[in-house]
């Protein structure tokens, strides 16, 4: 039988933002409920080595880090729910959430931490080498390619920025773009074209990522000229897919104000959204940094703001009574 649960704070999402919000909310005695979603742990669960999360002298495994965050959230009193939210009604109070299981959650405050997913090429070989030479985050993984040759796929700001960042480590960066001109800002293009480590291959698409099975390792890409159809192989030690990110905001379209990029719009220096009592943290609201540590920081902010919101409304009710 489906159940209805009323909670002071409900958190949707189980990445660094969601778990950090849960830790802070639980320690504030708000008894939060965290609904994990279809990918518990978020993007870090498909990240092998993590070197840039503070507090660890040696590289750690992404899945292990998320397990520790979940255990910490549970330890301080968070109720973790393995379910997926299908619909949200933000037009009534308490907010109403309906899950896959049929269970309903009523929330006085809602923290949205549903994250964003990198857009991928959709190649079977891409899935094979994710975490073994295929990445969607140069900031996360560029350090591992010191003195090596890498390929960046894309033509927008993200691709050019990733390529420029990678020149700090790689001996050569080849940017592959399926058109004959970039969509990136002119100033970024100028920096890219002036960099001696960068080569651009125009009018080309990646048809396959080539590598070895044991151990799993990228050795190159198979390129196809989109005008002639001719193919050729290009040697590379790593492939960075930079064709954008898709924030998980479908539940909130028409209910929360979104940026033109599709991310949830929050107030400056805040996680407050266009609906009072709804806060957004992590990659679902961050289209600039998209790092685990910044997501965790926003999760902290959201929980602190949620606590203040509930306290203010309790005082208002008390005064009215």
Which of these is catalytic: 89, 99, 127, 140?
Answer: 140
The overall longest dimension of the chain from CA atoms, in Å, is 77
Query: What backbone torsions phi and psi does residue 20 show, to the nearest 5 degrees?
Result: -65, -40
List CB contacts of 228: < 8 A, sequence separation 6 or more. none
CA–CA distance, 120 with 115 (Å, rounded to integer) = 16
Residue of 83, 89, 103, 141 marked active site: 141
Say which residue the tokens 């080498």 belong to.
129
For tokens 């008894």, name the residue: 31
Cβ pair 10, 111 in contact under 8 A: yes
Burial 203-223 (b: 16+ CB within 10 A, else e): ebbbebbbbeeeeeebebbbb
Measured at the CA of 217, the angle between CA 238 and CA 243, to 5 degrees, comes to: 35
- Catalytic annotation on 137? yes
Nearest-angstrom CA–CA distance, 248 and 319: 39
Angle at which helices 186-194 and 157-166 cross, to 10°: 30
141 tagged catalytic: yes
The question of whether 140 is a catalytic residue gets the answer yes
Q: Which of 137, 286, 287, 300 is flagged as catalytic? A: 137
Beta bridge partners of 11: 34, 111
Known catalytic residues?
A: 137, 140-141
């Amino acid at each position: 039988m489906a159940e209805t649960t009323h909670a002071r704070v409900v958190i949707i999402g189980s990445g660094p933002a969601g778990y950090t919000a849960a830790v802070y909310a639980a320690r504030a005695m708000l008894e939060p409920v965290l609904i994990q979603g279809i990918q518990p742990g978020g993007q870090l669960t498909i990240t092998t080595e993590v070197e840039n999360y503070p507090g660890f002298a040696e590289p750690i495994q992404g899945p292990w880090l998320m397990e520790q965050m979940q255990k910490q959230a549970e330890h301080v009193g968070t109720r973790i729910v393995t379910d997926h939210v299908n619909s949200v009604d933000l037009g009534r109070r308490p907010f109403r959430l309906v899950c896959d299981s049929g269970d309903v959650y009523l929330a006085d405050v809602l923290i949205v931490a549903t994250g964003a997913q990198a857009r991928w090429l959709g190649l079977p070989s891409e899935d094979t080498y994710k975490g073994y030479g295929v990445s969607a985050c140069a900031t996360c993984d560029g350090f591992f390619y010191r003195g090596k040759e890498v390929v960046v796929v894309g033509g927008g700001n993200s691709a050019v920025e990733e390529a420029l960042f990678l020149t700090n480590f790689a001996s050569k960066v080849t940017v592959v773009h399926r058109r004959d001109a970039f969509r990136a800002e002119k100033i970024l293009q100028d920096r890219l074209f002036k960099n001696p480590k960068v080569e651009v291959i125009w009018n080309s698409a990646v048809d396959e990522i080539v590598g070895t099975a044991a151990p799993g390792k990228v050795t190159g890409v198979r390129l196809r000229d989109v005008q002639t159809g001719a193919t050729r192989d290009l040697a590379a030690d790593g492939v960075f897919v930079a064709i954008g990110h898709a924030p998980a905001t479908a539940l909130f379209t028409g209910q929360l104000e979104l940026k033109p990029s599709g991310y949830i719009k929050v107030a400056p220096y805040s996680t407050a959204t266009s609906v009072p009592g709804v806060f957004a943290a992590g990659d679902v609201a961050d289209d600039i940094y998209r790092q685990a540590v910044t997501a965790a920081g926003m999760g902290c902010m959201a929980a602190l703001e949620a606590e203040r919101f509930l306290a203010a409304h309790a005082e208002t009710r008390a005064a009215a009574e």
